[in-house]
Amino acid sequence: MKKAEEPKVGEKLYHIRIEKGSIPRFVFLPGDPDRVKKFAESWETSQLVAQEREYLTYKGKYSGVDLACTSTGIGSGAIAIAIEELLRVGADTLIRTGTTGAMNDEVQIGDLIISLGAFRADGATRAYAPLGYPAVANYEVVSALIEAAETVGVGYWTGLTYSTDSFYLGQGRPGYGGFTNGFSSKIVDTLRGLKIINMEMESSTLFTLSSIYGVRAGAIFAAIANRSSGDFTPNAGVDKMIKVSNEAVKILSEWDNLKQAKGKGHFFPSLLK
Ligand code: URA
């Protein structure tokens, strides 16, 4: 492989600065590097793996399971780089743990939302597959997140996500100086009519690339904004989301062991009997 086609610094992948084999298969993907530190603090053990640009990675153990957390920065271009490089160094189950804007006022600020699939209004996935290609979450990851929320004892919503690279106009917010256009101001109502439950900026890329590469992905969000009531509270629900995410990886690891013991390629409920 030519150096410019697979950029590295020594043995480390250029952007995430991690080398092959040095992270576990389960990796959380928040956008914000500060949230990586919160994850690390919630584990039994943790260590810094790498820090480069927006990509901060810690790894550690939760309930005896090896796991890691890498921040992706904001938007499809940034998360696509993280996914490309994390898969090259050993990840195979990626869970976005993000914040989001909820569409309806029945979703309260701080509530959790588990995504079932995403509308591809991002830019990066157009380089990978035509728009008819679906952006779906892996059913095992979705099921584990639901099971985990039930185990932790917190409420949650499930539904379809809208992923766009634009936080302002693309999510129906006015631009600088109140700038708007004919379509931005209609976006929130249109999406609500389509029963989209939340808007954010990375999940369509995660789901599309994960399907193409044959790995598992899911996404859970803390609702910090509500586009119906207009409320906004930074970090609302994030601690709860971290608890549920850790528990989901523990559950996925148990299900993976069960699949292996019973010689099955997929998890299904009667495997637990
Ligand atoms: N992230 C988004 O992309 N939108 C919101 O409204 C909140 C978080």
Q: pLDDT tens across 3-14, in order?
A: 999 999 999 999
Specify the pLDDT at position 39: 98
Residue 164 reports pLDDT greater than 90? yes
pLDDT band for position 24 (50/70/90)?
very high
What is the position in ligand 1's atom list of the atom closest to the CA of 164?
A: 3
The active-site residue, picked from 15, 35, 96, 216, is 15
Residue 24 resides in a domain: yes
Specify the pLDDT at position 233: 98
Residue of 110, 112, 132 lying closest to 120 (CA atoms): 132
Specify the pLDDT at position 92: 98
Specify the pLDDT at position 1: 83
pLDDT band for position 158 (50/70/90)?
very high
Residue 270 resides in a domain: no
Residue 100 resides in a domain: yes
Mean pLDDT of 248-269: 98
d(CA 162, CA 40): 29
d(CA 126, CA 239): 34
266 classed as catalytic:
no
53 classed as catalytic:
no
Q: pLDDT tens across 72-99, in order?
A: 999 999 999 999 999 999 999 999 999 9
d(CA 241, CA 172): 26
Residue 122 reports pLDDT greater than 90? yes
Residue 9 resides in a domain: no
Residue 5 resides in a domain: no
Q: Is 209 left (phi over 0), alpha (psi -120 to 50) or beta?
A: alpha
pLDDT band for position 112 (50/70/90)?
very high
CB of 109 within 8 A of CB of 231?
yes
- Enumerate residues 6+ apart whose C-beta is below 8 A from 3: none
The active-site residue, picked from 19, 85, 200, 247, is 85
Residue 266 resides in a domain: no
State the CATH number of the domain containing residue 120.
3.40.50.1580
Residue 186 resides in a domain: yes
**Cα-to-centroid distance, 101 and ligand 1 (Å):** 5
Specify the pLDDT at position 70: 99
Residue 271 resides in a domain: no
Mean pLDDT of 183-209: 98
- Tell me which residue range forms the domain holding 78: 14-256
d(CA 271, CA 218): 21
The DSSP 8-state label assigned to residue 26 in this structure reads E
Share of the chain above pLDDT 70, in %: 100
**Cα-to-centroid distance, 186 and ligand 1 (Å):** 17
**Cα-to-centroid distance, 128 and ligand 1 (Å):** 24
Specify the pLDDT at position 135: 99
d(CA 158, CA 197): 8
Mean pLDDT of the chain: 98
Q: Is 17 left (phi over 0), alpha (psi -120 to 50) or beta?
A: left
Number of domains the chain contains: 1
